[in-house]
Structure 1
Amino acid sequence: MNAVSQVYDLPVTPAMECTVRGRIALPGVVMELHHYRFRGQQGGVFSSPRSFLDLALSPRPGRPCGGYGGMKEGRASALGDVLFVPARSELHTEWGEGEQTSICCGFDGMGFDHDGPDLSKDALQASLDVRSPAVREALRRIAGEIAQPGFCSEMLTQAIWLQAAIELQRYLHGSARDGGTGVGGMTRTQLQRIGDRVEQPGKPPSVAELAAECGLSTRHFFRQFKIATGQTLTRYVADRKIDRAKQLLRQARPAIKVIAWDCGFDSAAAFSAAFRKATGLTPRQFREGAMH
């Protein structure tokens, strides 16, 4: 299917090509599978008269970021694999060259009372990276029905979409409620985002990336983080990585060199030295003690 998208108006430009690979249209919502090909660095302002929910089924190219207040320092945040854009809001975005496949949903009210530009600041921030497993799984199921329709696909998809809409509403309400509770100048949502990023496998994120996650400038991020946690960022990251290493070492697998990479160390030797400094034991000694 190469039809024009019914979810939103796609710009006609040689820098971006979009193929619509499938569609299910229901009352109040249109859901499509999109495959994009981006040529060169991308950027622009996304706005639609309908609300928009998107799950990237493959990684978004480059280092995608965006913000509702523009792309100035401290306003742009990293975009997650699930992105929600309220109706009539202007999202400034940047991303890189490459290809991407997404399940894209354009919808009217669907019972939402937070689908307009009056969405709270904390909920807007959370909408750039919707960390709801229930929303993500519902969108994946919808994508599967579009790609391979089965018996009563439209009826089943309508039920799944209702679940996704309810879970998204819960997520936005929760973000608005929890985000307002500050911890020494940082919200619980911001601290949770930092913890989630730090605990991801591989190299820890840069300060600039963490600041962007929180919608803060680098300088302001350092100050607010120290007030909120009583720790420097370096100490905090080191402690979280060692804690993760302990969890992994309490199991017979994976191998220590794999744990070293998972926890962001360049080598098993560097990991062993840092772990021994923190605990007084080598990783092997810790694992042997935990297994007996």
Structure 2
Amino acid sequence: MAKYGWFALWLVAWHVSALDRSWDEIAFPSKGSSNSIGSYANGCLAGGAELSLDGAGYQVIRSQRKRYFGHQDMIGYLTELAGSVDRLGIGHLLVGDIAMPRGGRFTSGHASHQTGLDADIWLRLPSEPLTRKELQNPEPYPVVDIDNYRFKKEKWTTNHSLLLQIAAVDERVSRIFVHPLIKKQLCEVSWKERDWLRKVRPWWGHYYHFHVRLHCPEGDNQCVAQNPPPPGDGCGAELASWKPYVPVKKAVKKQPVEPQKSSKPKYQECIALLTGP
């Protein structure tokens, strides 16, 4: 009986140790079809699909971070969007973070991107593919002076507006996050159809890229959907409320940045993905 007792203790110790594993230590997705589990900011991804590092009209940047996995719906969306952009001659898409092989919380950066239904696309639209070296450490293209809350009109083109429209009209898209001043710029355009602007949501930080979020895919029953955006195009008082009040600046002592701790998985299926082979 003693050996079974030791085995039980070993099993408990192994399980606790496995839960201390971080999602970015996992090199491969699980087998099977894609399934988004949980919410965008607390979940995981079963059967993650891999986005090829380059394809028609796009390249994946910073591939060394291994954040180019997603739900098969997201991979399909990105390749189709890149194809449309390529045919229109808008430029070459630079695809940033999607998700890790099995989703979960990044140790740095986003709180979302956990279920394979979020993706970052940069606003830099090169006419030619980047070199391998450039892809590893790409130069961003900020269109907002965030220190002075000023939109850089000289850096914005009609291609940027068109790209965001094409990205948003797809019925798979739930939201697109951009800096409030980018949203303001889009609101000032005389679009024939404005319904898609409802999906474009102001959010801090998105001044050199935009963040696409897809709806929960049909059949992914454990995927937690987000409430739809408020009615309307979002170009009125709500958008104006994002303009910051600028207080008198005080000297702030910089604190060292510590890596984020992975939140404990909420769903048993996520625990299985985190602890399994």
| TM, length-normalised to structure 2 | 0.29
- Which structure has more relative contact order (CA 8 Å, sep 6+)? It is 2
